[in-house]
Structure 1
């Protein structure tokens, strides 16, 4: 068992990210643009020069890695490959090796991640049918991962990619995934999406928490994102006044969110603080399928006044700080937003797009650029990549739906 992920290394390489543009990998894939730059690597768009099919290529640097960090890098690749047997997980197609980088070739999703689709494209919020369809796909992908012993631990809209005009969503980024059903990696993931038991290690020695119920909790926050376009609270901790209000009365969410009574009941089952009593993925799937409506479609109304009793201890700014922006969602119709006060805690503000703690070597947030590119000093000429050997001949049509795979991908050698 690998223990807590090591501290993420600095992105050290003699090449600036744009210096690789124009390189042709394996004699087929030309790197044509930069999709995102994170603390742990660079994601490029590539085009097969023979077929013109686009791909995404994740460049994971080797420089500055110790043996433990290299193990975590290999684990991310292996678990992603195994999980990608499911159609709602981004396909890991090939692994290519170079002296300074490991290149992971994955399918290209040009419509970006779920976060940008909610906040910029106006999809899902106000469209119960589309939100339910997307959420069931995410749930099915997570359920498959759990069935083969993989726990994602970083479920959030930034790590879910969108295709087919919002009708298909795919889980991505397995940088924090583990095969440990019980883990001691407290604080692992993004604060908005962590379960209470994951927040902070108890004082007692050998403390652990179950990974599967933690993923279920994260799915509940994503469900609120999809239906309401906001987060239910900043942190699932008694330190958060909105979460304290929920602990006092589970009906509290229905007073600040335009959710239906049926969805409120589902969220109460998801946001059960005792992980042993939390709803299972199968139960959640059945409840979502049978749920007649997710929201009250009340986006043309003003937000309710902060309750006076018994919630007089609730900081009203905490509620406003997670509201929708002034602009209404673009689909399915131009409703007014439920909440209108923008803030740094809104799902619709760039500052709410969180990085993940405990990360090993993960380009967080799908393809979204997270760190501004800065000139890395003197530019070097792009190296001549002379790949040869075998690559993983995986394609979408070879996916075996719900068929576990123990195959660990090999890499093309020089």
Structure 2
């Protein structure tokens, strides 16, 4: 069977590309080599969180305009702020079709703040409703309480509390922590210290919610913000909304150590949407090698098969997902051996250097059509997207989600145009 398009990589960029191709009526297959990095993520989408001076960006699409002037090789320069916005708006609509609503800030075209498990604040463009969207200004917040369930090891309220206190905007805010011991109604006798977030989510029942709500009313009834580990909204049970209703408190969920309930929720939504559009998703199938001849990909080889398509989109990610490999000889792309662009300084001696590390900006060279090259020759029917691309630092910029979605949307558009649709 020959596919219209074969997407190699089943993460955020891969599924985005697959969904857009399938929506256009193409026969498209997504190959995923293993667990997506989304299962480790917060489930939020950042577009541009920090500018080149290290300051938070309040208006991300305006910030993109300034960024591409300063960094003309940035992937965003290929699309421009308007196209990035269109891609994110389209993405939000596709996810909404599955019943998962991603929300933006209350003020149009502003980032909102996302609270992390370390008590840090990170700008984001899209978040899941249970995670909450904190307004840009914190003038009305006087008391914050981090709440955990006794024994649960993947969320540490004391650490989060200490982290938030280091933020100058919260130096006059009362920040504290609280632990609640739960019976875990559906835990079959297991205790929270044996569970990850997904297991804890399934173990919580009505009696636990009753205990949580009564404890919150008794001990933190005057809090302006209550932050709890993300394990209260799973398998169709929205316990968080129930707690909000019973207590009247502003309660948000914070992503814990992996696995992430929010990240898994987003991944499932994307897979569901892709399947609903007729896409074919193949899990646990790594692509070992691609065959390129006369500037075109002829086929790709998996451990058990040789697959052919009219067009290919490569979204295998960065080092974490083995989309790039780093050895003493340098960084390489292992499937096709694509041309790479590496920074002169691979890493900084300071682990938390404000300028970031060169290896994060290293990636595949691409042209205006997101086509990569081999020995300087562009590959006509291959496009690349997401964390594989050179020229940006998703960590320092807070741009990983936006680059993944917008470049995958663009790559799919290139394929759709070539197919004459």
TM-score range, shorter chain: under 0.3
Question: What TM-score results when the alignment is normalised by the length of structure 2?
Answer: 0.25
Which is helix-richer, 1 or 2? 2
Question: What TM-score results when the alignment is normalised by the length of structure 1?
Answer: 0.25
Which is strand-richer, 1 or 2? 2
